[in-house]
Chain A
């Protein structure tokens, strides 16, 4: 069973003239990092909200088609209890994702497990592990509101990591981070996939995700247009035609008039042009 499966899904926001998703079908598997990309408005963010059940529960609007998140239809009210704590959602702006009642980072990370009623000893040890995993243990006693954007996003990710979720839904999670922060989060995602979680990430960071993602789905007009391995897709021309971007080196090669397949990394380029 796929961790996330969509079949013929349509979604329209209330008052919107056009659907954000239409006839959208794809699946994401446990143990793999599935990377979604596309032009602005292609539907990747909406796909994540639909998978989490927040669309339409929070956003309003109409959803059609079949969605199965860890085997449940996330739009049904009954699924909230069944999925609670098993699906992690991370958005791009960390400040709005803070709990709002934590005075320290440790309390912030403990927010969800405490809400779920975990025993105190388990909360304490899992919180310490989660803060270690994203290297914020030294910030444990800081007021989360005073952290830098990058530190705050790592605290938000730790606050999800603490739950050991089965499905990660990340929407541009590294846009507030510097290169070191991005590498840390990408590494964490790889470890989560190895642990057995399904990781679905919407991102434009081709250079960062190329070595991490096992699969790339390029969205166009509210549905997957290209689906395959990142290397195969990014080296071609299709991804550019879909309005998405490949790696910096591929962009450079394309701009310089090189014929596809494009080199994707510095190493690729060196190998190709020193042959």
Chain B
């Protein structure tokens, strides 16, 4: 995984960034208008930079940019109602507000989640779950999948290259490319299935099923700051939801 454990985010208890980012998502959904949404996005950007995972904010821009563009097109330019002139463009007032609100909501959510991913340490997460005595199976599934992804991606690239060098046409008409889906996906799927049996044998003989209480190998420190931060963020999120619902 990304080597960010040395950053400030890597020193937090694994559950702290998880709770904080989920709370950012809840606050973003609850944000009533462009000002609050923009403020939340701003605070999220600052927090992410302070935690030493500022790159996540930049990486979040890749999926965000097209979303922002289409939000702007769909609501500000094509929107109806009162028109305002901005930089020579005639824009819908309500549409612009909606586009900015939604863009900032998505910005805050994407930035927070990508920052969590950048600071995620599989081993510390498993240890944190084990220390609480929570289900090992769930932690296993999450971590085993995340660690398997690079292996699967590398295999997918290798298969794509191999089939291409055997003359499979991956360009050209849509029909040609749809026809290529089988030769590209089959080897990957068959390889994955072939492994399942042996890995199941190995996991069973290594006592991975029916784990009742796993020993955390290096239990992460849960400081007072971590706990206070999680409770505050949770309380803020709950308050925001209540305010939105009751208002």
**Residues in B whose Cβ lies below 8 Å from that of A52:** 201, 204-205
How many residues from B make CB contacts under 8 Å with A?
34
| A117 and B144 form a contact (CB under 8 A) | no
A145 at the interface (CB under 8 A from B): yes
A19 to chain B, nearest CB (A): 19
Number of A-B contacts (CB under 8 A): 103
- Complex Cα distance A213/B151, Å? 38
| B197 and A107 form a contact (CB under 8 A) | no
What size tier do the contact residues of chain A reach?
35 or more
Closest to B195 in A: A96
A123 at the interface (CB under 8 A from B): yes
Cross-chain contact of A89 among B199, B202, B213 (Cβ < 8 A)? B202
Residues A81 and B210 in contact in the complex (CB < 8 Å), given A54-B201, A58-B197, A59-B197: yes
| B217 and A110 form a contact (CB under 8 A) | yes
Interface residues of B: mostly helix, strand, loop or mixed?
Answer: helix
B198 at the interface (CB under 8 A from A): yes
Closest to B218 in A: A120
| A97 and B217 form a contact (CB under 8 A) | no
A112 at the interface (CB under 8 A from B): yes
**Residues in B whose Cβ lies below 8 Å from that of A85:** 207
| B200 and A160 form a contact (CB under 8 A) | no
A257 at the interface (CB under 8 A from B): no
- Complex Cα distance A208/B74, Å? 73
**Residues in A whose Cβ lies below 8 Å from that of B148:** 100
A244 to chain B, nearest CB (A): 24
B73 to chain A, nearest CB (A): 44
A159 at the interface (CB under 8 A from B): yes
Cross-chain contact of B214 among A80, A89, A114 (Cβ < 8 A)? A114
- Complex Cα distance A92/B75, Å? 60
| A89 and B215 form a contact (CB under 8 A) | no
| A89 and B205 form a contact (CB under 8 A) | yes
B200 to chain A, nearest CB (A): 5
14 CB contacts below 8 A, A to B, read: A49-B201, A54-B201, A58-B204, A80-B209, A91-B198, A91-B201, A96-B199, A99-B144, A100-B199, A101-B144, A103-B122, A112-B207, A114-B130, A115-B211
Residues of B at the A interface (CB closer than 8 Å) are: 1, 122-123, 126, 130, 136, 140, 143-144, 147-148, 151, 195, 197-217
**Which A-B residue pairs are the 8 nearest by beta carbons?**
A97-B202, A96-B198, A89-B205, A100-B144, A112-B206, A115-B207, A114-B215, A101-B143
